[in-house]
Structure 1
Amino acid sequence: MAHSISAFRSFHGRRWQQLLASAALLAAATFASAAEPAKDHPLVGRYEGSTMDAFQVKNYDEVGLLREPIQTWGDPKPKPNLLRVAGKVSLYYYHLPEGRSLLEVQRNYEAGLKAKGFQVMFSCGTKDGSCYRKDPDRSEPNTDVSELATVIDTPEWPLIGYGRTYVSTYFESDGRYLLAQNDTPNGKVYASIAFAEGSFRGSFALVRVVETKAMETDKIVFVDASAMQKSLQETGRISLYGIHFDLDKDSIKPDSQPTLDEIAKLMRNNPQLRVQVVGHTDAQGEEPHNADLSRRRSVSVIAALAKTGLDARRFTSRGAGSKEPVAPNTSEDGRAKNRRVELLRL
């Protein structure tokens, strides 16, 4: 009898430990799922067993998508022929499960996309050289993964993934790529997926989904010369969001002219006024690049104002980069507020 009771207790003790272990595993799985930054895109999904490392969405942006083999030879070497599309851009960084080749993952994505109505526009791999045009001076195909990595790593990819590094660093031993298009009732949807294999961090699927749509308009809060003067008198500064630049460049877009005209009007109405033009960026990208870009943009603004006949000596320029945010850089709304041109009264 005593032996039976002891066995009963031993069995139920082990059973209780198993239940506790199962509960702990379930809690860990639930926590891991809850910790993921977003849900999968409904038209693209993820490879089974993958975990989402990072996510970002922009309501409207323009990106370049690789659509044909890259030419890696020539003097000068031509730029890649990218498909430029604009719309809602969603980025997903998936850490792939161990033991799965990039080819297997790529072909599963292709099959899944076709089942959702996509047509594959371009598909390639670096190991067989299909990502590159044939070099007439070489007998062997180009299998250098770094060439694909460099083209994939365009300025639109933010530093949000593993270690907040450039996506080109994900590619070490192998790389593959896939571009597909779906004509939906709401417009074209593009799925651009880069597959990267590395010896340190493992394999990743870098998924970019672009849902083409018209940009929302009437979002600019126009600041006229009188409002600028009032803010400069009261606070010594004014933030302007009506000056726009080409992506990752210091060239001013034409739709910035109304704000430039108001700055010129402000300066003419106040002939003794001197201001510093400060460029600001969000926190995406490395700070040395952001600081240089913001400085060049402030110089471009002064050059544009000088063309209206204003004395350039009434202005000084400064690039603050991302060092002086007015909102958190953790959301697109916050980053949009940080991307600005500021006038400081001297």
Structure 2
Amino acid sequence: MIVQEDFSKESLGDFPSNWNTRSGAELVTINTREGKWLRLAQTGVFYPEYITDNLPENFTLQIDLLANQQVAAIGQWMVSLLQTKDTDEKFRLGEGLHASGVANFQLNFQPGSSRGQMYYSTNLIGSQSKSGIPEFHTPEKPSVKISIWRQKQRIRVYLDSTKVLDLPRALDANATLNSLVFSSSNPEYDSKEGAFFMSNIRLAVGAPNLRSKLMNEGKFSTNGILFDVNSDQIKPQSYGSLQDIAQLLKENTAVKVKIIGHTDADGDDHANLELSKRRALAVVQALTTTFGIDASRLQSDGKGKSEPVDNNDTSAGKANNRRVEFIKL
């Protein structure tokens, strides 16, 4: 995990302390959603300042995004993955779909337009549009989880669990990206109540080859299996990771594995240990009941906070420690 941003340590009503903008936005809560959300109600560019290194050539980016019903038909929200050299370039290139001359991938949504509208652009293939986006269209579907997966040249985009883009030559294979930038625009923002809301931003190194890791190294860990807070209830967005693991086990029918849960250091040690064991057992139950894996091939255990792989001082570090480990028996 490179970035795990849920704004949990920031104050409501403020702009995040480690982000930058030349416009304005504030953190709010939403009655029907957990956590804090960055409310974008002004035209502007917004980006986290703590991304200072080049992004890996294989990474995934996830964002939870909402739009209220007051967002006008021309209201736009955009995420940009860019190669920039300074702050001014982040603001300039983050404003539109035409960041020519530098490596970039930009994805733009207009959920208030007729049937929903999506635009995408890269420095290699130019800009294209796609009409009719049922996954993100107000007022019928005002929220979406956006997932972007870069593998060198290739870019895939998922809205919730639906793959909407698969661009095999979107970028140069060796293109360097070093900036994550968000923007919103709507000339009517100043006189309307339209706003976008975003949270739960997760930027991580791309998934390894699970079969290679398990067969050659004897184990692998995943942060893709998510649970409700202080619970062993698996979140629906974990389905893709569970499906990949189940497919691996189906293709290698002689393999048996031990599934081990790990937590971060927050909370009571004994409670964390018991929680990690329950979460590992929940994964076993999901693999057997949902995916048909023979229960005799699976064991479970939990280590609580006792085997961290990162520090527990940052959100990203804690997210790395909250993992599920698979060990070949």
The structure richer in helix per residue is 1
Shorter-chain TM-score bucket reads 0.3 to 0.5
TM-score, normalised to structure 2's length? 0.42
Higher strand share: 2
- TM-score for both structures, normalised by structure 1: 0.40
Where relative contact order (Cα < 8 A, 6+ residues apart) is larger, the structure is 2
Kindly name which structure, 1 or 2, has the bigger radius of gyration based on alpha carbons.
1
